[in-house]
Chains A and B, each alone.
Chain A
Amino acid sequence: MIKRKPHIIVLVSIALVLLSVTLLDEKPTTKNAFSCLTTQENFVAGKPIAIEFKGNSENKPQLFIIHSYGRTLLDGVLKNDKIQFNLPKNYALKTGYVSWFLIENNKEKAKGNFQILPNDETKTNLESYLGPPSTLAGDNHYVMFVTIPTDDFDNPKLPNTDVAIKHQFLNSISTDNEKTKDFIAWKNIYAPTKSGIVLISASCNEALTKEFDAVIYPSIATDFTISYKRNHEFADGNQITKLTTSILKDKFGNTVSDGTMVTFILKNKENAILKTFGTTIEGIATGQILHPEKENKYSVKAFVNGISKSNSVEIAYKSINPTIAFSFSKDNRTITVGPIKSFMNQIVPDGIKVNLNIYHKDKLVETITENSNKGKAEFYLSPEFYKEKNYRFEIETLGKIIKTKEINVANQQ
């Protein structure tokens, strides 16, 4: 009995030790809740960010993070009974709301979030867009200037950041203080009624944008007048009449942009329509028309297509009443018309159209057209084609018709 006692004591003590050890072992496993020691909710971009937890870190918990641009899994650094997770630099540079999930043994043990804010201590950058880069004068036309202020890590600034948007036109310079909302600060710059260039720039903190220029084009042309200029009023088929517009202006008095197309539409006595075009230089467009070859009257009107029109102008051309001589060759097969003389008895310029209408028994056989050369035109009636004996001719030029009597061309064969 006495001998046995120490055995029992030893056994009991061993059992007690074992029990206490298992109890000690169990303690941390039942208490493996983690508590987040980091209370800071807002961090600044570019500064180191660390999240600390207290708890048993034997199982190497990991931190899963969801960030504006990506997701990753972080391993912790053990420090006594704490575990610290350092956000990698590339994540710490960018702003946004970061959610974290503490994972141990494939299970989520804790979760939370924090915010990374833009770093206002770094240089501010401004990224700006001007669109459209040009517009028309007045009439509530505008260009939109959008600027995105960011910190030096390319993070958009917080809402309500002040941005000054300035614009200059002639003598007026104005500054508007805008606040950012949804990453941007923006302003519609309304076009002045005068054409020209509006300069726009913005500043935020120390950052300045370059100079943006919005081109203000003249607005569309208003109605205008036309006039004409010519050497003489004779329908000689040679001279040119110049049609000229007044200076085309928009409703604000700006001369329209160079190159505005003006269409001159002419209607003659026969109601046929002729067209000529001109583009404006310094607001003036000119069109040219050739004088007709016989007496006529043109009524001219000009248009900027779909936009504006001019008054209507009448241009009358007088006949030059030419004197026309003609002669037949010996065999009557060559007819020489000319010299054709113009209004001052001068010989008409080269290239005047001369028609010869050939009739046989009062039936038109053919019309031959020649151009005058040194005031003359020559027609040859080939025996192969003109086999009949008698033909009658009409010579037609510069609006005048001369009829011959019947002429025998079949003799002397």
Chain B
Amino acid sequence: MSLINNKNSYRVFLLASFIALNILVLYGISSILAYLNEGADRSTMLHLDKETANTYLPKISWKSLENPGREMEKQTLATLEKHYLFSWYIKNNALKNNTDEGIGDYFTENPRKILDTIIKNNKADKISIESTTLTHNPKLEFYSEDGQLVVFTDENVVEFQNIYQDKKLITSVKDTATYKVLMLLEDGFWRIRHCERMAKVTDTLKAETNEKTFIVKGNQILKNNKPFLIKGINYYPKNSAWDMYGDLFNLDTIAADFDIITKAKLNTIRIFVPYEDFGKAEVKTEKLEKLKQVLALSKAKNLAVIVTLFDFYGDYSVNNWTLTQRHAETVVSSCKDFDNIISWDIKNEPDLDFESRGIQNVKPWLSEMIEVVKKAAPNHLVTIGYSNIKASEILKDEVDVVSYHYYEHISLFTDKLKALEKATNKPVVMQEFGMSSNKGFWSWTGNSKEDQAEYHKKMQVIFKEKQLAFVSWTLYDFPKVPDGVAGKWPWIKSKQKQFGFIDYKGKHKPSFLYITN
């Protein structure tokens, strides 16, 4: 019996292994067939134009197109510029990730060989260089008669880089140099044949001497040469907080609010320009128009304005700097004629991003952005609103006005301010402060409306005594606060909703009496 059973089990084993073998063979054949049938997508045979939009947009301005060779055509120049910038992008990417991706498209054979060795060595040494170029000022030197060869000098290219080894930051370096470049047109690509770095040339450009309404003298802000003390308020319309330029944009509502503000004897508002909502690098004209309308309206109502850029921005990565710079440039330069703008506030509380985004990215980003904004509107001041007094000393030498936000206890204020005033002799503005009257269901221990009034009363006493510039947070209680601002938790949201001097229903809260001094 056991013998028969044994035979049967052999049979079962043999059959099973035969079937298994067959399955394996069939699987093998099918995967070979599948491998042979797969191929490159046919469209990859063509060198189709690659989209450069939104990847790399350093400021590029051709100085001169005159050259002893052929006259430069607009179309060619556009392609050349695109491919040249792409060569930088590819090179930056190669140095960051140590790959040779795309090098073949934008460099001819000999430079490619050099780049390959450079990438290989950096890879072996675990060096990664995150870099970007911020401005290019090319000057055409030569364009050959057959349109296949071009030489230009790219003057004073501003390069910024963060250097990492073993994934640890070594340092950040900013440098300016000139590059002389020879490019050849090969299969529809302008490719770099020779590239030589040269010493920077002295800049002949002089800053425009625009009429300045607001200037800084010592630790004072002057308006038309008279001291101007900012007594201001942060402003969002009640029903469209953090979304001022969206569908609910209504100039009449804003005009009525501005009347409330001027009647309360305030002279300044602080408004925000959201980065993504405004279309990032390609700023949407309709949004820009709305911003201009707000600025024009505030001018008509005799209100000075602090405009905070880059609301809801938090990337800062070096390879996207050029995009943010184009955004700031467009927004700022198209508003530079508003003489009621006191200052451009580069970013709201950027010090909070130091940890998550890396101080090595954020700080130079701010510093570069100050330059971009100053260049776009030389007649306006520049500031950065940090989240606390101590942080406001960052880049204090580069901003015109030092701004900080204060949400700590009043009793600590005077000492902290003293420390700041010791550290800088520039004008100092408390750009945000306030207290939420959020006592209620979500917060049993919160402050009542009376507490809020008391708080503002005390603050205003200090401001009056010391003649301090202040911008309070905020005019209205907001019925809705987006998740992006205060997170999802209702108790936090509820706090954020009730910082106002005026409640949801439009009634003045007790604190309204102490909106200014």
Q: Which residue of A lies closest to B176 (CB)?
A: A99
By the criterion CB–CB under 8 Å, are A70 and B180 in contact? no
Q: Is A131's CB within 8 Å of the partner chain B?
A: yes
Chain B contact surface mostly = strand
Known contacts A64-B163, A90-B114, A97-B197, A183 near B151 by CB under 8 Å: yes
Residues on the B chain within 8 Å of A66, using CB: 159, 161, 173, 175, 177, 197
Q: Is B333's CB within 8 Å of the partner chain A?
A: no
Q: Is B410's CB within 8 Å of the partner chain A?
A: no
By the criterion CB–CB under 8 Å, are B142 and A131 in contact? no
Q: How far is the CB of B236 from chain A (nearest CB, A)?
A: 41
Give Cα A184 to B193, complex, Å.
12
Q: Is B145's CB within 8 Å of the partner chain A?
A: yes
Within 8 A of A (CB), among B139-172: 141-142, 144-149, 151, 153, 159, 161, 163, 165, 169-171
By the criterion CB–CB under 8 Å, are B170 and A103 in contact? yes
By the criterion CB–CB under 8 Å, are B144 and A144 in contact? yes
Within 8 A of A (CB), among B472-491: none
Give Cα A183 to B151, complex, Å.
8
Known contacts A64-B173, A129-B149, A184 near B165 by CB under 8 Å: no
Within 8 A of B (CB), among A178-230: 181-184, 186, 188
Q: Is A88's CB within 8 Å of the partner chain B?
A: yes
Give Cα A322 to B205, complex, Å.
94
Q: Is B308's CB within 8 Å of the partner chain A?
A: no
Give Cα A66 to B175, complex, Å.
9
Q: Is A385's CB within 8 Å of the partner chain B?
A: no
Interface size class on chain B is 35 or more
Surface stretch bound by B, among A6-14, A105-113, A338-346, A387-395? A105-113
Q: Is B125's CB within 8 Å of the partner chain A?
A: yes
By the criterion CB–CB under 8 Å, are B145 and A188 in contact? yes
Q: Is A383's CB within 8 Å of the partner chain B?
A: no
Give Cα A131 to B142, complex, Å.
14
Partner of A129, one of B148, B169, B177, B194: B148
Q: Is A101's CB within 8 Å of the partner chain B?
A: yes
Residues on the A chain within 8 Å of B197, using CB: 66-68, 96-98
Residues on the B chain within 8 Å of A68, using CB: 179, 195-197
By the criterion CB–CB under 8 Å, are A108 and B121 in contact? no
Q: How far is the CB of A118 from chain B (nearest CB, A)?
A: 10
Within 8 A of B (CB), among A85-125: 88, 90-91, 93-99, 101, 103, 106-108, 113
Q: How far is the CB of B65 from chain A (nearest CB, A)?
A: 14
By the criterion CB–CB under 8 Å, are B169 and A106 in contact? yes
By the criterion CB–CB under 8 Å, are A131 and B194 in contact? no
Residues on the B chain within 8 Å of A99, using CB: 175, 177
Q: How far is the CB of A292 from chain B (nearest CB, A)?
A: 51
By the criterion CB–CB under 8 Å, are A132 and B146 in contact? yes
Q: Is B110's CB within 8 Å of the partner chain A?
A: yes
Q: How far is the CB of A150 from chain B (nearest CB, A)?
A: 8
Known contacts A64-B173, A96-B198, A182 near B95 by CB under 8 Å: no
Q: How far is the CB of B166 from chain A (nearest CB, A)?
A: 11
Q: How far is the CB of B276 from chain A (nearest CB, A)?
A: 32
By the criterion CB–CB under 8 Å, are B171 and A108 in contact? yes
Give Cα A142 to B145, complex, Å.
9
By the criterion CB–CB under 8 Å, are B141 and A71 in contact? no
By the criterion CB–CB under 8 Å, are B95 and A70 in contact? yes
Give Cα A363 to B107, complex, Å.
84
Q: How far is the CB of A354 from chain B (nearest CB, A)?
A: 61
Q: Render B117-151 as a binary contact track against A, CB cut-off 8 A, 1 for contact.
A: 11101100101010100000000011011111101
Q: Which residue of A lies closest to B173 (CB)?
A: A101
Q: Is A358's CB within 8 Å of the partner chain B?
A: no
Partner of A73, one of B69, B127, B145, B195: B127
Q: How far is the CB of A278 from chain B (nearest CB, A)?
A: 33
Q: Is B111's CB within 8 Å of the partner chain A?
A: yes
Chain A contact surface mostly = strand
Q: How far is the CB of A303 from chain B (nearest CB, A)?
A: 31
By the criterion CB–CB under 8 Å, are A144 and B180 in contact? no
Q: How far is the CB of B414 from chain A (nearest CB, A)?
A: 35
Partner of A69, one of B125, B151, B153, B195: B195
Give Cα A150 to B180, complex, Å.
15
By the criterion CB–CB under 8 Å, are B170 and A156 in contact? no
Residues on the B chain within 8 Å of A156, using CB: 182, 194, 196
Give Cα A95 to B144, complex, Å.
24
Q: Is A154's CB within 8 Å of the partner chain B?
A: yes
Give Cα A183 to B183, complex, Å.
11
Q: How far is the CB of B335 from chain A (nearest CB, A)?
A: 36
By the criterion CB–CB under 8 Å, are B145 and A132 in contact? yes
Q: Render B186-213 as a binary contact track against A, CB cut-off 8 A, 1 for contact.
A: 0000000111111100000000000000
Residues on the B chain within 8 Å of A281, using CB: none
Q: Is B255's CB within 8 Å of the partner chain A?
A: no
By the criterion CB–CB under 8 Å, are B196 and A95 in contact? yes
Q: How far is the CB of A275 from chain B (nearest CB, A)?
A: 37
Q: Render B76-118 as a binary contact track against A, CB cut-off 8 A, 1 for contact.
A: 0000000000000001000100000000000000110011011
Q: Is A72's CB within 8 Å of the partner chain B?
A: yes
Q: Is A316's CB within 8 Å of the partner chain B?
A: no
Residues on the B chain within 8 Å of A188, using CB: 145
Residues on the A chain within 8 Å of B194, using CB: 148, 150, 154-156, 183
Give Cα A104 to B442, complex, Å.
52
Give Cα A96 to B169, complex, Å.
27
By the criterion CB–CB under 8 Å, are A144 and B145 in contact? yes
Give Cα A156 to B194, complex, Å.
8
Q: Render A137-163 as a binary contact track against B, CB cut-off 8 A, 1 for contact.
A: 000001110101010001110000000
By the criterion CB–CB under 8 Å, are A148 and B182 in contact? yes
Q: How far is the CB of A167 from chain B (nearest CB, A)?
A: 15
Give Cα A108 to B129, complex, Å.
16
Q: Which residue of A lies closest to B68 (CB)?
A: A186
By the criterion CB–CB under 8 Å, are B182 and A131 in contact? no
By the criterion CB–CB under 8 Å, are B146 and A184 in contact? no
Known contacts A71-B131, A148-B182, A97 near B177 by CB under 8 Å: yes
Q: Is A263's CB within 8 Å of the partner chain B?
A: no
Q: Which residue of B lies closest to A88 (CB)?
A: B121
Residues on the A chain within 8 Å of B177, using CB: 66, 97, 99
By the criterion CB–CB under 8 Å, are A72 and B122 in contact? yes
Which of A69, A101, A107, A181 lies at the interface centre, i.e. has the most chain B CB atoms within 10 A of its CB?
A: A69
Give Cα A93 to B177, complex, Å.
20
Q: Which residue of B lies closest to A127 (CB)?
A: B193
Q: How far is the CB of A151 from chain B (nearest CB, A)?
A: 12
Q: Is A62's CB within 8 Å of the partner chain B?
A: yes
Q: How far is the CB of A85 from chain B (nearest CB, A)?
A: 13
Residues on the A chain within 8 Å of B169, using CB: 106
Q: List 17 A-B contacts (CB under 8 A).
A: A64-B171, A66-B173, A70-B119, A71-B131, A71-B163, A73-B165, A88-B121, A97-B177, A99-B175, A108-B171, A131-B145, A131-B146, A144-B69, A148-B193, A182-B180, A183-B182, A183-B196
| 10 closest Cβ pairs, A-B complex | A131-B146, A70-B118, A144-B145, A96-B197, A90-B117, A182-B141, A68-B197, A182-B151, A96-B196, A97-B197
